Structure 1
Amino acid sequence: MANETHKTSILHEKYASGPHGLGDPEDRSLRRVEIDVMIPKKMREIARDEKCTDVVEKFTECCKNNSILMTFKCRKENAALKQCLTRWYEDEDFKNRCKEEYLNERSEYRRTGVTQKQKQRLATSM
């Protein structure tokens, strides 16, 4: 018993297992923080980058043109942006798509130990 090495962790076994100790790559369950924070963040990013690009562009342009006064001058553009984003947040198919993308990215991270940002950096540096 003296030679035995035993790792203890404060994390539940399912969050500390897997090839890199990052959790089981095949686990599809979601923690509260993932449901409340991570998936909505993914939804915001995708909606902003894919679904509401023209509205985001108009809002960004308005803000650039009005710097300090943007709070007052860009209300119409801000309202249009909120309306567009809200429409996508309420779409169940879009929500499920974002959830699946998040779970796939998490599984890949747990399998490889490489984050999405690290992969992007590697791709741009080549």
Structure 2
Amino acid sequence: MEATKAEEPFLRHVETDVLIPKMMREKAKELCAEKVTAFNHCCKETGFLMVFKCRDQNAALKECLTVHYRDSAFFEECKQEYIKEKLEYQRTGVAAKNRSQKLPTSM
């Protein structure tokens, strides 16, 4: 057994099938920000006809997101980030979303 595998914490089904994919979706949206913006702009401009008029933007967005969703290296990257956040939470009791860099008020 590899040393890294022995040190890696056990991940529950919900973590590998729900929480890590959720992180992947959020990061993929950031990586495809240009296409997300183009699709959103098209939808706002066309209103109810967006289903027909924004097909190209929607297809480009789906293609960009799918590339990331199917990338096993991207999954592994998100998994390691999730594990890091999980271990930090277990150590400190503070969730990542509540952790922020704050300067002391005396400065």
TM-score (norm 2): 0.80
* 1:69-96 C-alpha deviation (Å, 9 max, x unpaired): 2222212111111111111111111111
Aligned residue in 2 for 1:30? 11
Unaligned runs of 5+ residues in structure 1 are 1-25
| 1:67 CA drift (Å) | 2.5
Q: How many angstroms apart in 2 are the aligned matches of 1:37 and 1:29?
A: 15
Give, in angstroms, the shift of residue 102 of structure 1.
0.7
- Taking structure 1 as reference, are residues 28 and 45 closer, same or farther at Cα in structure 2, changes over 3 Å only? same
- Which of 66-75 and 90-99 deviates more? 66-75
**Structure 2 residues without counterparts, runs of 5 or longer:** 1-6
Query: Aligned partners of 2:95 and 2:43: how far apart in 1?
Result: 32
Change (3 A) 1:76 1:68: same
Quick one: distance in 2 between partners of 1:43 and 1:101?
Answer: 10
Q: Pairwise mapping of residues 111-122 of structure 1 onto structure 2 (< 5 A)? A: 111-120=91-100
Give the residue type in structure 2 aligned to 1:42: M
Higher relative contact order (Cα pairs below 8 Å, separated by 6+ residues): 1
Q: Report SS of the residue matched to 2:77.
A: helix
Max radius of gyration: which structure?
1
SS at match of 1:99: helix
Which amino acid in the other structure matches residue 34 of structure 1? E
Other structure's SS at 2:94 match:
coil
Percent identical residues: 51
For residue 66 of structure 2, the aligned residue among 61, 68, 86 is: 86
1:23-102 equivalences under 5 Å are 28-49=9-30, 51-102=31-82
How many residue pairs were aligned?
A: 97
Q: Which protein is richer in helix relative to its size?
A: 2
